[in-house]
Amino acid sequence: MGGSRMFKKILIANRGEIAVRVIRACREMGISTVAVYSEVDRASLHVRKADEAYPIGPAVASESYLRMDKILDVARRSGAEAIHPGYGFLSENAKFAQACADAGIKFIGPTPRSMEMMGSKTGARRHMEKAGIPFVPGTSRGLASAEEAESVAGTVGYPVMLKAAAGGGGKGMRLVRTREELRSALESAQSEAQRSFGDSEVYIEKAIVNPRHIEMQILADEHGNTVWLGERECSIQRRHQKVLEESPSPIVDPDMRRRMGEVAVRVAQAAKYTNAGTIEFLVDQEKNFYFLEMNTRLQVEHPVTELTTGLDLVHLQIRIASGEKLPFTQSDVNIRGHAIECRIYAEDPDNNYFPSPGKITLLLLPSGPGIRRDSGMYEGWNVPMEYDPLLAKLIGYGTDRQQAIMRLQRALYEYFVAGIKTNISLFQRILRDADFQAGRLDTGYLDRLLSKADPEIAARAPEPRIAAIAAGMFAVLDPGSTATTNGNASAPVNAPSRWKQKGRAEGLR
């Protein structure tokens, strides 16, 4: 599709809170929406919010949300002119982007060529090496043997990191501290990479001690214009999965921000990139930054950038895909205030954060100044077992970091979800931690925090939770009362089923 004619109907090839987020953006722009859903998602919020909804198969993602043929068939039958992939599932699948193009349907994202170039971490490193982009010392091709791994590790120096070339989310990743650990770690990483991505290619790079993980948001239109929109601090991670993100980073000054932004734009231009993308960097203790990878899609944490720039990234994605030029230049981009996002998961903090499916019997929602919620859940909904357990995102915004923290702390104590376990208590602990409040962060921060006892748990008075607990007890004693609590009508839900650990297969990084 050429020109700049705005779409009349868009299909959202996703589920959960991101599908709801895109549906809302389309509605604001006067665009009709088409949802797709698996059997267990029949009563999901994105199905309720869309103008049309079509079933695409069983609960397992490989038979529904990952079925390109079924999604394209729905697009054809519904008359959708474009597909927004959200994140996870098919969002970084170059074959799907090409299939959309072949079917005459606009893929709201980069071109297949750009996705292929940046989709392989080793391939991306080779391209960035040619473009003069700084990256962590290591190999730009997969390791051919254990002997080669030992040779490279000996050259760059231990510790080193083994990484799968074809994916992320911590799969196929191993930290190796000594030569004696290397061979077994390589075999383990290759095996996990093969199971997770169907590709056993693993490369090696120097492990930066106590790095920060900082990323830069970029936008590029189809007319050659590329801008950076500020950084996000993503160092708070568990098992290589981001947990809490904020913008701007506590350590990035204006000069460092400009330099990172300029490098990010060079990366995007080298890849001939269009639409929204994110350049990820590792930052060492001396504030040197190194290219890590590019995420060729919208990020889970995009709301913190929206709040600090005043720009709607989903609106802009759609406008770029329709052929419009960016309506602003780099000099128009201003970073104001501070935003922090918490990823609310259905998981049990008292059981090693094991996923916790089930029916949401009561939902008390936070609101008030500076609070944003991007959510895919409602009271009475049954959280399925088959997908990543991300329920919602709670974002606090303030004129400065301290105000954002205070508002988010208050909102977390207003947030109450009954019937399942959530990680809300984890964020309460993080936000009151002295190191977090001082901005002393790195990718090992959360492991250190969780290894310590929390002295405030027993001492803290229960008053802030009394109302929520009382309401929960009332709901249990009088189940019929939840039918209209908070204005939510009761909905048909699936019977609870046996839970199986599924991991984070969608790769929501």
Active site members: 297
Cβ atoms of 509 and 168 within 8 Å: the answer is yes
Kind plus residue range of the DSSP H or E element containing 121? helix 121-130
Strand partners, 212: 283
> How many residues would you count in the chain?
509
Backbone angles phi, psi at 392, to 5 degrees: -165, 170
Token output for 103? 């079917």
What is the radius of gyration, based on Cα positions, of the chain? Answer: 22
Strand partners, 343: 393
- Say if residue 198 is exposed, middle or buried (CB neighbours under 10 Å; 0-12, 13-18, 19+): exposed
Q: Where are the beta strands (DSSP E) in 105-190?
A: 106-107, 160-164, 174-176
3-state secondary structure of 163: strand
Tokens 């609590």 sit at which residue? 485
Instruction: Please count the other Cβ atoms lying within 10 Å of the Cβ belonging to residue 78.
Output: 20
| CA proximity to 84, closest of 297, 323, 278 | 297
CA atoms of 222 and 3, how far apart (whole Å): 10
CA trace torsion 170, 296, 53, 347 (10° rounding) = 20
Cβ atoms of 346 and 389 within 8 Å: the answer is yes
Token output for 499? 């839970």
Cβ atoms of 70 and 38 within 8 Å: the answer is no
Tokens 């993080």 sit at which residue? 430
Backbone angles phi, psi at 169, to 5 degrees: 70, 15
Q: Which residue pairs, CB below 8 angstroms and at least 24 apart, start in 178-185? A: 179/150, 179/153, 179/154, 182/146, 182/149, 182/150, 182/153, 183/146, 183/149, 183/150
Token output for 190? 């290759």
Cβ atoms of 88 and 113 within 8 Å: the answer is no
CA atoms of 226 and 222, how far apart (whole Å): 9
DSSP 237-292: EETTEEEEEEES-TT--HHHHHHHHHHHHHHHHHTT--EEEEEEEEE-TT--EEEE
Instruction: Calculate the CA 88 to chain-centre distance.
Output: 8
